[in-house]
Copies of this chain bind each other. A is one copy, B any other.
């Protein structure tokens, strides 16, 4: 007991000192700006979405209140592509193309061999046709670029990509395409005792390379698509190698599977977006929680500042309406979208 107290006191003092140092820094930085009341969701416009979020968090953190949820149950899961950052284009596919191009020197046969030929030529038609026919060629591109190397080597490739690649239209690094209001929301939830997770169709190792610096989400809180990696000795060194065996595609109805495997608790807060219906499963799972819960669905309706797109069948918006989920309209709900706006 005494040891725990000492440890906690140590942590408390460290926090105090850090806060004090940060306050000094900020005092210097903001000495010429007028101070305002701290708004945890400062880049959100006032309106029903923002106030619903604030109200929910206040209710579940109010000890003794009728909707109080103990901290260990405050699990929040968020889709990544289109929910936490821009999915036009899908960043991970850009990475796959980047890798195929980098690997092409060792594979002269790819010049004449699909799907590599089209990828190298920058011609999307072959893969578009393939995706309609089951996506086997697409999977081949993903497997070639994502498997067959050690976990460490893959991590280096991803970091190299993010250090150099830029968004084709906005001309900024892809990590700068994180939505500022969502980064704020994640921090606000964590400040209120939530554990925040990514739960995405994106590759688990791909996202982990940037999740902490981009969203403050630690690697162990990332859930994503994965193959079953193999531990083996290569060149006298035991290493984990990436494979596409037993591929688990963490999307749609399998997102609850991924959440249960990694967390073992239902989320009380889940965020997803409109595009393919990929988050209906996760939001339904969250909604089935017997504790108070909140479902947030991002609707892309801002073709000026981001993109405007919808689902063919509107299933996500229809389900949201039927279930009482909260729809976030980027155009009206967000004051700013990107950090460099």
Contacts and interface: CB of A to CB of B under 8 A. Distances in A.
Interface of A: 1-13, 15-16, 18-19, 22-23, 26, 38-40, 72, 151, 187-188, 190-193, 195, 204-205, 208, 218-220, 222, 226, 228-232, 237-240, 246, 248, 253-257, 260-265, 281, 284-285, 288
Contact of A246 (B22, B38, B204, B246): B246
Contacts of A5: 19, 22-23, 26
B239 A288 contact: yes
16 contacts: A2-B38, A3-B191, A4-B22, A4-B187, A5-B23, A7-B191, A7-B192, A9-B16, A10-B191, A204-B264, A219-B264, A219-B265, A230-B253, A232-B253, A237-B288, A239-B288
Contact of A231 (B9, B22, B23, B253): B253
A38 B220 contact: no
Which 6 pairs across A and B sit closest by C-beta, in order of nearness?
A: A219-B264, A7-B191, A12-B15, A231-B256, A2-B38, A220-B263
A261 B16 CA distance: 35
A60 B3 CA distance: 17
Contacts of A11: 15
A288 to B, nearest CB: 5
Number of copies: 2
A5 B19 CA distance: 5
B264 A208 contact: yes
A260 B248 contact: no
Given A6-B38, A220-B265, 15 more contacts: A2-B26, A3-B39, A3-B188, A7-B190, A7-B191, A12-B16, A219-B265, A220-B263, A228-B248, A229-B260, A237-B288, A238-B285, A240-B285, A246-B246, A246-B248
A241 to B, nearest CB: 10
B8 A15 contact: yes
Contacts of A238: 284-285, 288
A315 to B, nearest CB: 15
A265 B15 CA distance: 25
Contacts of A18: 8
Contacts of A248: 228, 246
B228 A264 contact: no
Contacts of A19: 5, 8-9, 12
